[in-house]
A and B are shown apart, each in its own frame.
Chain A
Amino acid sequence: MKLKKNNIDEKKLKKRLIISILSGVLFVIVVIVGFRAIKYGSRIEEAPTALRHSFEWNQKVWARISSSKHLSVNKPRPDKSKPPRVNGDIGLTSVADSKNYSVEVISGTKTFKLPIAAFHSTDKVDVSTDFRCIEGWSEEMSYAGMRFSDFMKFYDLGKKPDGTYYAYVGLETPDKEYYVSIDIESMIHPQTVLSYEMNGTPLSIENGAPLRLMIPVKYGIKNLKRIGKIFFSDIRPRDYWAERGYDWYSGL
């Protein structure tokens, strides 16, 4: 390619250079001011406002693309002797009454307590796939229990009088120290399971005994351990890590 050549007056050239350098300086100032305005400006749930909106915008894009047809890829079943990796104990530090453990369920006007045995009574679903932590690690884990969509059907939950679903599901530990909320589309995903077994053995206390959520379409932070309460709502229930600046959606 031939480069264009020009004859130009020395003074004009100097002016052109000065304008270019000044534009450059202005650009640097705009970048620094803009960066600081976002970083140190107002926040929504600990995340800078612009970045929170960007999380929500990304959510809109990906919620449209993803569906319950997208499955987390099946992986070989881990060895029974291998306990699943443990990463947190928020909500697990108090002593749980394992004998009379029950889960509180709320859907519309329906409120009841389910004994833990109720989750063992229906068809057992078994999944083996990647468990992905938002920190960046992942591990192949298997888990078994009651599929959440089966749970909804069995007890006729999650639907409003007009027949449509509530938009959100909220889950909490019995001591209410840890809590998450998840969009209904992800909750009715076929791999979303209320599980009482991991890697072929009953859940350990650290892994969330007697019942935990396993939801591979979300990061580990949404996979609440030791479920004390499950409820349906159209108003987004509070979420532990979203309150701490993380993406509420955290979908994979």
Chain B
Amino acid sequence: MKENQIIIIEKHPRILRYTHWINVVFLSLMVWSGVLIYWANDAYYKIPDPVAETLSIQYKLAEGLSWHFFIMWAFIINGLVYLAFLFISGEWRELAFDRKIFKDTFFVILHDLHIKKEAPSQKGKFNAAQKIAYIGAILMAFGSLITGIAIYKPVTMGWITNLLGGYEAARFEHFVLMIGFIIFVIVHILQVMRAGWNNFRAMIAGYEIEKK
């Protein structure tokens, strides 16, 4: 090996990085506009008025609706590009799992909480807990789309609304999925911070430097 040469691992392909960061923008806008809509009828959870005022989320139903039904298309298209790439490139194999996934996830969590020293062995770029989290995020996006259609068009797409237990139920499910995304994002950010720069840089520039 020549001098000044570094061994790098090509971790995240370009399209995965692009769709990831584009999704950060669209998901944020969907949550923000969704909260503006939710606030017109805060049926499940109320924030005290002064807080809601500071967050500037009150009396913005028209704005929320207009953004939500605009960005939804961008969110869907970006998601489809991601899924298409996942399957065409074979990257989906990184998310493939077997029966051991739940057991391994349990041990990964124990390891991350410093209860257990050894982490379960890992073949690809993701451990079992990551796989569950990322597959979960894809399923939640799909669920948000379905529950969203159910409350967006409860007459035209009434069969979906009925399948989900009715209009009120679908609205609640849509809300729960939004909370799910927020929990996912918080855990995701904490884990990325814990994993450090080498890991995070892979999502920006694609490569990870192999440890010597």
Contacts and interface: CB of A to CB of B under 8 A. Distances in A.
Contacts of B67: 51
B1 interface: yes
Q: How large is the interface on A (under 10, 10 to 19, 20 to 34, 35 or more residues)?
A: 35 or more
Interface string B43-70: 1000000000000000001110111011
Interface stretch (B4-12, B101-109, B112-120, B129-137): B4-12
B8 A5 contact: yes
A65 to B, nearest CB: 6
Nearest to B24: A31
Grouping DSSP codes into helix (H, G, I), strand (E, B) and loop, the A interface class, with mixed when no group exceeds half, is mixed
A138 B41 CA distance: 10
Contact of A54 (B25, B66, B207): B66
Contacts of A4: 9-10
A252 B156 contact: yes
Interface in A12-58: 13, 16-17, 20-21, 24, 27, 31, 35, 46-48, 50-52, 54-55, 58
B125 interface: yes
A215 to B, nearest CB: 10
Q: How large is the interface on B (under 10, 10 to 19, 20 to 34, 35 or more residues)?
A: 35 or more
Nearest to A217: B155
Interface string A183-218: 000000000000000000000000000000000110
B205 interface: yes
A24 B158 CA distance: 42
A146 to B, nearest CB: 21
A86 interface: no
